[in-house]
């Protein structure tokens, strides 16, 4: 199958219903489907062929959605390039995933215009990417746990399967109005694509502040919220402006909720926040639909079709969470590693440490790997260290997350310098040039040496200097 | 005592360096939201204020009035800094 069928089916069933609302203007399903057809024709004219890997470097917008489906209509592979990426990061992704072209809002030399403020720039990879005979819809670039990064490869059938599975829990229908605030470059498949496959209306909210977000919920009679704890915290502490009686489901994802926010949000809106376990390798695996209020810190039970297992549990029952179910990723792209090679028994190891209570509720406790979670954005310390280590004044470095009461964690780094402390300004400028702004350590500490493990000499990640 | 001008200058310097594109002509009166200030920018600025001034701006204070521009944000920082 091709995921464009999901949109075309909705367009056939609900042609006049608003698919997307941006500002004051609504785009109906029929209009969205028509937009994808004309964009696909234009892309084909520009030699975008099936299997081409195309980077999508745009902020949340109707155009973002239309281009994703238009690329699927041409059977091209969509690779989101988050707009916060620096030029260096974009060129690294372009090279390692062998992108054929990038769609973005800025013209480059040799760009072709494909719409208002939309430009296609060819990348001319030295070797064309090998899709290994798969019908790939999507590759999500993620920083890996080693310095080599990986792209998560998802085929059309895989995405359809995870959408079907996720909706057993979310129960999105044509009666739903989803108020959207997360970056589409990080969240699209079991969210935007799912909502559109079920005829829901998506409102693109301006999300910096609580007021416009709350106003959008009330104005458009929102029924579903899908946001991070940071957004819920802002809403909960915004006391003016009335309630949200139309909301039936408020899902929290991207990082663990804390009790303050769970309580404050419930007190303010009388709606519990439902935690989910959503990962790019599997879609939405768990959703706490049964007891979101009383067991607010659980991600709940596996959705139908999914199984969860705790590997090598300790005395308290805590161990690495492994999952099995529909719509698991097909491969990693760079270097290519198939799911069968990575998870021959069908169990994917998530890297999260968790436990399951006597009633089957799953609780996530920490990451096995050292990933830093800054207000829901995942940042790999190796990526920051590799940038720091390229600076001539830095002999070695260690980046880590320091627990923070409002953000989950914040990024700090310890540096061993080959120069005096005056070099720090230059190190900061180097970070700004090389790293998306949220990945820049908020504190750089000069130390005389880094803690290391005795055996391998590797930098110890569990030690956080106080 | 740190006054409003000093706070404005430090916020302006930080946002020029770490939040907005270098080609944007940012002043203390530039409308932040219209200039593209998003929730990750907000996180960066709240962390900067916490690091420089030693306190976290409560979420109840983060509203359209506070985040209108750098001048209004600096005024909020100053008021909270001297709050009893």
Instruction: Give me the pLDDT at residue A210, please.
Output: 85
Same domain, A201 and A104: no
Residues of chain B positioned with their CB less than 8 A from the CB of A432: 17-18
Strand partners, A103: A56, A120
Reported residue count of chain A is 466
Same domain, A113 and A205: no
Helical ranges in A364-405 per DSSP H: 381-389
Q: Tell me the two tokens of residue B76.
A: 């909020």
Containing A4, the helix (H) or strand (E) segment is helix A4-13
Residues of chain B positioned with their CB less than 8 A from the CB of A234: 59, 62
* Neighbouring C-beta atoms of residue A455, cutoff 10 Å: 6
Q: What is the pLDDT of residues A32-82, one digit of tens each?
A: 999 999 999 999 999 999 999 999 999 999 999 999 999 999 999 999 998
Q: What is the pLDDT of residues B50-82, one digit of tens each?
A: 888 888 888 788 888 899 999 999 999 999 988
Helical ranges in A220-333 per DSSP H: 229-236, 259-269
Taking the Cβ of residue B12 and every Cβ of chain A, the question of whether any pair is shorter than 8 Å is answered with no
CA of A141 to nearest chain B CA: how many angstroms apart?
A: 20
CATH code of the domain covering residue A36 = 3.40.50.980
Residues of chain B positioned with their CB less than 8 A from the CB of A236: 59
Cβ partners under 8 Å of residue B54, min gap 6: none
Residues of chain B positioned with their CB less than 8 A from the CB of A230: 39, 43
For A68: left if phi > 0, alpha if psi spans -120 to 50, otherwise beta; the answer is: alpha
Kindly report the backbone phi and psi dihedral angles of residue A212, in degrees, each rounded to the nearest multiple of 5, phi listed first.
-65, -30
Number of inter-chain CB pairs under 8 A, A vs B:
64
CA of B49 to nearest chain A CA: how many angstroms apart?
A: 11
Taking the Cβ of residue B24 and every Cβ of chain A, the question of whether any pair is shorter than 8 Å is answered with no
Instruction: Give me the pLDDT at residue A328, please.
Output: 96
A330, A338 Cβ separation under 8 angstroms:
yes
Same domain, A79 and A122: yes
Same domain, A238 and A121: no
CA of A232 to nearest chain B CA: how many angstroms apart?
A: 11
Q: How far is CA B44 from CA A213, A265, A374, B17, B72, in A?
A: 20, 23, 10, 12, 17
Q: Exposure pattern of A286-316 as b/e (b: 16+ CB <10 Å)?
A: bbbbeebeebbebbbbbbeebebebeeeeee
Q: Judge: B63–A407 Cβ closer than 8 Å, yes or no.
A: no
Residues of chain B positioned with their CB less than 8 A from the CB of A407: 43, 47
Please indicate, yes or no, if residue A464 is contained in any of the structural domains.
no
Same domain, A191 and A96: no
A133: helix, coil or strand?
Answer: coil
Same domain, A277 and A416: no
CA distance A1 to A465: 52
Same domain, A169 and A116: no
Please indicate, yes or no, if residue A378 is contained in any of the structural domains.
yes
Residues of chain A positioned with their CB less than 8 A from the CB of B47: 407, 410, 442
Please indicate, yes or no, if residue A66 is contained in any of the structural domains.
yes
Q: Judge: A377–B40 Cβ closer than 8 Å, yes or no.
A: yes
Contacts 24+ apart (CB under 8 A), A24-32: A26/A201, A27/A62, A29/A196, A29/A199, A32/A7, A32/A62, A32/A65, A32/A66, A32/A69, A32/A196
Bond into A179 cis (ω within 30): no
* Residue position matching structure tokens 């994917």: A348
Please indicate, yes or no, if residue A28 is contained in any of the structural domains.
yes
A81: helix, coil or strand?
Answer: coil
Residue A165: name the closest of A247, A285, A259, A262 by CA.
A285
Cα dihedral A389, A391, A395, A398 in deg (nearest 10): -40
Substitution target in B47, B52, B66 with the highest count of A β-carbons within 10 Å is B47
Please indicate, yes or no, if residue A99 is contained in any of the structural domains.
yes
Q: What is the 3-state secondary structure (H, E, C) of A312-331?
A: CCCCCCCEEEEEECCCCCCE
Q: Which of B19, B39, B44 sits opposite A207 (nearest CB)?
A: B39
Strand partners, A56: A80, A103
Q: How far is CA A42 from CA A46, A56, A120, A353, in A?
A: 6, 16, 10, 47
Could you tell me where the beta strands, DSSP code E, fall in A336-456? Answer: 336-338, 348-356, 362-367, 372-374, 377-379, 394-404, 408-417, 443-446
Please indicate, yes or no, if residue A342 is contained in any of the structural domains.
no
Kindly report the backbone phi and psi dihedral angles of residue A67, in degrees, each rounded to the nearest multiple of 5, phi listed first.
-70, -40
Please indicate, yes or no, if residue A361 is contained in any of the structural domains.
yes
Instruction: Give me the pLDDT at residue A134, please.
Output: 97
Instruction: Give me the pLDDT at residue A288, please.
Output: 96
A347: helix, coil or strand?
Answer: coil
CA of B18 to nearest chain A CA: how many angstroms apart?
A: 6
Same domain, A218 and A282: yes
Helical ranges in A171-198 per DSSP H: 194-197
CA angle B33, B36, B42 (to 5 degrees): 70
Q: Judge: B60–A237 Cβ closer than 8 Å, yes or no.
A: yes
Q: Which of B43, B59, B67 sits opposite A438 (nearest CB)?
A: B43
CA of B43 to nearest chain A CA: how many angstroms apart?
A: 8
Residues of chain A positioned with their CB less than 8 A from the CB of B18: 432, 437, 440
Taking the Cβ of residue B18 and every Cβ of chain A, the question of whether any pair is shorter than 8 Å is answered with yes
A245, A263 Cβ separation under 8 angstroms:
no
Longest CA–CA separation in chain B, Å: 40
* ipTM computed for the complex: 0.74
Its domain, for residue A418, covers 372-446
Q: Tell me the two tokens of residue A278.
A: 């959503």
Residues of chain B positioned with their CB less than 8 A from the CB of A181: 39
Q: Judge: B64–A374 Cβ closer than 8 Å, yes or no.
A: no
Q: Judge: B46–A406 Cβ closer than 8 Å, yes or no.
A: yes
Taking the Cβ of residue B42 and every Cβ of chain A, the question of whether any pair is shorter than 8 Å is answered with yes
Q: Judge: B62–A234 Cβ closer than 8 Å, yes or no.
A: yes
pTM of the entire structure?
0.82
Confidence check: pLDDT of B32 > 70: yes
Task: Give the end-to-end CA distance of chain A in Å, rounded to a whole number.
Answer: 54
Please indicate, yes or no, if residue A136 is contained in any of the structural domains.
no
Instruction: Give me the pLDDT at residue A369, please.
Output: 65
* Residue position matching structure tokens 């949109």: A7
CA distance B34 to B68: 9
Q: Which of B33, B43, B64 sits opposite A407 (nearest CB)?
A: B43
Same domain, A85 and A224: no
Same domain, A190 and A286: yes
DSSP secondary structure letters along B28-56 = TTS-TTTTT--HHHHHHHHHHHHHHHS-P
Residue A20: name the closest of A41, A1, A35, A2 by CA.
A35
Strand partners, A170: none
Chain B: residue nearest A376 by CA?
Answer: B40
DSSP secondary structure letters along A24-48 = TEEEEHHHHHHHHHHHHHHHHHTT-
Q: Judge: A443–B51 Cβ closer than 8 Å, yes or no.
A: yes
CA distance A320 to B12: 45
Same domain, A278 and A427: no
Give me the number of domains chain A comprises: 3
CA of B38 to nearest chain A CA: how many angstroms apart?
A: 5
CA angle A115, A118, A121 (to 5 degrees): 120
pLDDT tens string, chain A, 466 residues long: the values are 999 999 999 999 999 999 999 989 999 999 999 999 999 999 999 999 999 999 999 999 999 999 999 999 999 999 999 888 888 888 889 998 999 999 999 888 889 999 999 999 999 888 999 999 999 999 998 754 444 557 999 999 999 999 999 999 999 999 999 999 988 998 999 999 999 999 999 999 876 678 889 999 999 999 999 998 888 988 998 888 899 999 999 999 866 788 888 999 999 999 999 999 998 899 999 999 999 999 999 999 999 999 999 998 888 888 999 999 999 999 999 889 999 988 889 999 988 889 999 999 999 887 666 778 887 777 888 888 889 988 999 988 999 988 888 887 889 999 999 888 889 999 999 998 888 888 899 899 999 888 765 444 555 555 443 3
* Neighbouring C-beta atoms of residue A268, cutoff 10 Å: 16
Residues of chain B positioned with their CB less than 8 A from the CB of A440: 18, 44
CATH code of the domain covering residue A208 = 3.40.50.12780
Same domain, A93 and A172: no
Helical ranges in A46-181 per DSSP H: 62-73, 87-96, 156-170
CA distance A438 to B51: 15
């Amino acid at each position: 199958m091709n995921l464009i069928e999901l949109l075309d089916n909705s367009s056939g069933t609900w042609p006049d219903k608003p698919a997307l609302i941006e500002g004051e203007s609504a785009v109906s399903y029929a209009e969205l489907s028509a937009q994808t057809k004309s964009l696909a024709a234009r892309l084909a004219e520009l030699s975008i062929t099936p299997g081409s890997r195309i980077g999508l470097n745009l902020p949340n917008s109707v155009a973002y959605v239309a281009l994703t489906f238009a690329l699927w209509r041409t059977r091209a592979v969509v690779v989101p390039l988050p707009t916060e990426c620096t030029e260096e990061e974009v060129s690294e992704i372009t090279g390692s995933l062998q992108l054929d072209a990038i769609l973005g809002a800025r013209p480059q030399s040799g760009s072709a215009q494909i719409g208002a403020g939309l430009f296609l720039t060819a990348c001319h990879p030295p070797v064309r990417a090998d899709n290994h005979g798969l019908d790939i819809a999507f590759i999500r670039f993620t920083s890996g746990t080693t310095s080599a990064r990986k792209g998560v490869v998802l085929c059309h059938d895989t995405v359809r399967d995870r959408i079907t599975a996720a909706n057993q829990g979310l129960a999105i229908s044509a009666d739903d109005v989803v108020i959207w605030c997360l970056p589409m470059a990080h969240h699209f498949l079991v969210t935007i694509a799912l909502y559109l496959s079920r005829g829901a209306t998506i409102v693109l909210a301006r999300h910096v502040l609580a007021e416009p977000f709350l106003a959008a919920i009330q104005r458009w009679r929102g029924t579903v919220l899908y946001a991070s704890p940071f957004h819920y915290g802002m809403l909960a502490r915004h006391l003016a402006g009335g309630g949200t009686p139309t909301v039936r489901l408020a899902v929290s994802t991207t990082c663990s909720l804390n009790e303050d926010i769970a309580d404050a949000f419930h007190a303010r809106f009388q709606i519990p926040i439902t935690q989910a376990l959503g990962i790019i390798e599997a879609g939405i695996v768990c959703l706490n639909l049964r007891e979101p209020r009383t067991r607010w810190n659980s991600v709940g039970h596996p959705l139908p079709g999914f199984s969860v297992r705790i590997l090598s549990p300790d005395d308290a029952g805590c161990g690495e969470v492994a999952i099995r179910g529909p719509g698991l990723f097909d491969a990693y792209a760079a270097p290519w590693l198939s799911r069968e090679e990575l998870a021959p028994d069908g169990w994917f190891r998530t890297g999260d440490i968790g436990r399951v209570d006597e009633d089957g509720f799953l609780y996530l406790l920490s990451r096995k790997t050292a990933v830093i979670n800054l207000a829901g954005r995942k940042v790999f310390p190796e990526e920051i260290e590799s940038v720091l280590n390229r600076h001539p004044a830095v002999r070695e470095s260690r980046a880590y997350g320091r627990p923070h009461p409002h953000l989950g964690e914040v990024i700090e780094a310890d540096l061993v310098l080959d120069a005096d402390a005056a070099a720090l300004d230059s190190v900061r400028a180097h970070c700004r040039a090389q790293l998306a702004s949220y990945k820049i350590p908020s504190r750089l500490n000069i130390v005389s040496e880094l803690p290391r493990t005795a055996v391998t000499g590797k930098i110890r990640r569990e030690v956080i200097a106080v | 005592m740190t006054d409003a001008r000093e706070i404005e200058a430090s916020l302006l310097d930080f946002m020029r360096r770490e939040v907005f594109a270098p080609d944007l002509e940012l002043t203390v009166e530039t409308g932040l939201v219209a200039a593209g200030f998003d929730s990750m920018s907000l996180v960066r600025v709240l962390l900067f204020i916490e690091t420089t001034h030693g306190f976290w701006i409560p979420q109840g204070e983060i509203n359209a009035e506070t985040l209108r521009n750098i001048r209004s944000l600096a005024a909020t920082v100053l008021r909270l800094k001297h709050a009893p």
